[in-house]
Amino acid sequence: MSQSLLEQVAALRARIEATPFAANIGAFVDEAAARNGDNALWTFFEDGRTATYAEAKAAIDRMAEVLHHVGVRQGAHVAVMLPNVPEFPTTWLALARLGAIMVPVNIGYTPRELHYVLTDSEATFLVVDQSCLATVRAMEADTPVLAAATVVVVGGDGSWGRPLATLLAEAPARSWPWPAPQLDDLMNIQYTSGTTGFPKGCMLTHRYWLTIGKVAAMRGSDECRRILAAQPYYYMDPQWLTLMAMYSDGQIFVARRASSSRFMDWVRAYDIEYCLFPGVMNKEPESPLDRRHKLKRVSIFGLPKEAHAALEARFGVVARESFGMTEVGSALFMPREATHMVGSGSCGLPSPYREAKICDEQGDEVPVGEIGELCIRGPGILKGYYRKPEANAAAFRDGWFRTGDLFRKDAQGFHYIVGRVKDMIRRSGENIAAREVEAVLKEIPEVADAAAVGVRDERRGQEVKAYVVLKPGFDRDAVPPERIFAHCATGLAKFKVPRYLEYRETLPRTPSEKIAKQRLVDEKPDLRADSYDRVDGVWR
């Protein structure tokens, strides 16, 4: 890395970290509204609903009065089960105003999953969309958790719960001072859906959200004021994208749900300048309009390094990889100016407010170039997992959060993800990252999806098993095991080439679309069953 780039990154960090925070998220909303008044803040374009900063602030304050009327007080846990409608950010920011805590709930949850999140988070109130009410009623019929009087229904008809429209009409205006939560007070219990076990609730503070919004807005050398959000609000991205827009004195454009076929139409229609760019766009049919847009930069995540330069060339964008997670927010980022790193596969350098180190199993930092677990610390990371003392003890070491991700760092200080600590296969004393095997499998043009797991073996400890999903129109006769193993042999060391191969129609996934490997492992007592054995040359 050149000295000039080092100096630019250091200056950027210093500038961002010197910019003061508002006292809390509610104060931040007030400051943004005072600056921008009649300028548009959000547009939910598929519903045709737009609000200026002043209108959004009024709606947030009124929602806070409604929630107070229902009984929500500072410190209360309020579950929010809404699709991408304006009521979601309005409710979230109203809870910030009250010093209450939001528990976002996936609108696709079953009654069992909803029951788990409500009871684990100790939520005592629920704001829910009418379209999700059947799930709530089914849960209540089986295992009651909430009283109807504590449930606010957006679009409700009054058959159960308290319709928001009625509450907006009857709730008295505020006659008390707003609470004044501190920066390190809890704002969200945000559930992560890992590949194993039950989800854990990340305790995220006002500082956490203001940090990630500020860093996202300020880490580019340009100013991006028109921002697209196509992910669900109950995940974390649209929440920080909303704050990013407010930091930028800009506007966020929100889609009801993601759509790769319509994504670039949205980018062009609303003159979007920044977005999270789906890697799947590279697989969409090329169009003469691909470069006709006003994007200044985009963020990419997990894009194969071989596809990075092609994506930039096809769409004419500055695309930069980064690494973050619910627990720590933005951890690593690639500077816009680091053009020499395009296609390197690196996630970049530590983000502002973050320190990073790569450690061995004992917690000692490994030498440059060696693989270890990425550990992160800094102000505003999660306070811990809610009511999970054992998980907290395992996740933190001397103030550093253990990400569970395997990384290496080069001599310039750039970080590269290798795989998951718990997603390692150990064969004859050798560590094999499942992610690496999966990446090679996905290079096969006919393979749509792939997963790799370890299979117990008496001689070698574990053997590698690959699961592959073929693209429509292909079957195992068209793409036989020999073809797949031969390709793996060209990209993997001999000990990493899978021994077992199973063809699947689909792979099980978590609500956040991660492959649920534990479900694969638990499906059958002998993972060799239904597989082709490369060594013995037989179907088992």
Please name each of the domains of the chain with its CATH number.
24-38+46-205 (3.40.50.12780), 428-539 (3.30.300.30)
Overall size of the chain counted in residues: 540
What letters, b where the CB count within 10 A reaches 16 and e where it falls short, cover 424-435? bbebeeeebbbb
Task: Give the C-alpha distances (Å, rounded to integers) separating 148 from 102, 115, 140, 402.
Answer: 19, 15, 10, 41
Q: Encoding tokens for residue 424? A: 């390692």
CA 224 – CA 94 distance, rounded (Å): 26
2/236: higher pLDDT: 236
pTM of the shown model = 0.84
The Cβ of residue 181 has, within 10 Å, a number of other Cβ atoms equal to 24
CA 313 – CA 327 distance, rounded (Å): 33
- Cβ neighbours of residue 243 under 8 Å, at least 6 residues apart? 25, 28, 209, 210, 212, 213, 214, 216
Type of residue at 66 = V
Please check the confidence at residue 423 and state whether its pLDDT lies above 90.
Answer: no
Mean pLDDT across 398-403: 96
Task: Concatenate the DSSP letters of all residues of 167-197 into one string.
Answer: HHHHSPPP-SPPP---TTSEEEEEEE--SSS
Mean pLDDT across 183-205: 85
Comparing 34-43, 187-196, 241-250, 497-506, which segment has the lowest mean pLDDT?
187-196
Per-residue confidence band for 112, with pLDDT thresholds at 50, 70 and 90: confident
CA 298 – CA 274 distance, rounded (Å): 5
Please check the confidence at residue 496 and state whether its pLDDT lies above 70.
Answer: yes
Per-residue confidence band for 195, with pLDDT thresholds at 50, 70 and 90: very low
CA 439 – CA 423 distance, rounded (Å): 14
Mean pLDDT across 90-115: 94
CA 228 – CA 276 distance, rounded (Å): 8
pLDDT number for residue 63: 98
pLDDT number for residue 144: 93
Please give the DSSP secondary-structure letter assigned to residue 149. Answer: G
**Torsion-angle region of residue 162: left (phi > 0), alpha (psi -120 to 50) or beta?**
beta
Please check the confidence at residue 223 and state whether its pLDDT lies above 80.
Answer: yes
Mean pLDDT across 95-105: 98
Say if residues 152 and 162 touch (Cβ distance below 8 Å): yes
pLDDT number for residue 181: 98
Please check the confidence at residue 197 and state whether its pLDDT lies above 60.
Answer: no
Q: Encoding tokens for residue 165? A: 């429209």
420/528: higher pLDDT: 528
Please check the confidence at residue 61 and state whether its pLDDT lies above 90.
Answer: yes
Say if residues 120 and 388 touch (Cβ distance below 8 Å): no
Say if residues 296 and 273 touch (Cβ distance below 8 Å): yes
CA 187 – CA 235 distance, rounded (Å): 14
Task: Give the C-alpha distances (Å, rounded to integers) separating 415 from 14, 250, 431, 505.
Answer: 21, 31, 19, 35
Mean pLDDT across 79-104: 98
Mean pLDDT across 419-430: 78
How does pLDDT run across 483-492, given as a tens digit for each residue? 999 999 988 8
Comparing 251-265, 339-353, 411-425, which segment has the lowest mean pLDDT?
411-425
How does pLDDT run across 133-146, given as a tens digit for each residue? 999 999 999 999 99
Mean pLDDT across 291-303: 93
Q: Encoding tokens for residue 509? A: 């996934």
Mean pLDDT across 223-228: 96
Q: How far apart are the first and last CA of the chain?
A: 51
pLDDT number for residue 196: 47
CA 187 – CA 120 distance, rounded (Å): 16
CA 182 – CA 508 distance, rounded (Å): 41
CA 4 – CA 6 distance, rounded (Å): 5
Per-residue confidence band for 428, with pLDDT thresholds at 50, 70 and 90: confident
358/430: higher pLDDT: 358
Q: Encoding tokens for residue 6? A: 């080092």
Mean pLDDT across 261-267: 96
Mean pLDDT across 411-424: 86
Comparing 88-92, 194-198, 322-326, 424-428, which segment has the lowest mean pLDDT?
194-198
Mean pLDDT across 4-30: 95
Q: Encoding tokens for residue 526? A: 């002998």
Mean pLDDT across 327-356: 96
326/510: higher pLDDT: 326
Instruction: Identify how many contiguous H helices and E strands the chain contains and give both numbers.
Output: 15, 28
**How does the average pLDDT of the chain come out, rounded?**
94
pLDDT number for residue 413: 95
CA 334 – CA 344 distance, rounded (Å): 11
CA 28 – CA 391 distance, rounded (Å): 32
Task: Give the C-alpha distances (Å, rounded to integers) separating 526 from 73, 266, 509.
Answer: 53, 48, 21
The Cβ of residue 368 has, within 10 Å, a number of other Cβ atoms equal to 12
Please check the confidence at residue 458 and state whether its pLDDT lies above 70.
Answer: yes
pLDDT number for residue 2: 65
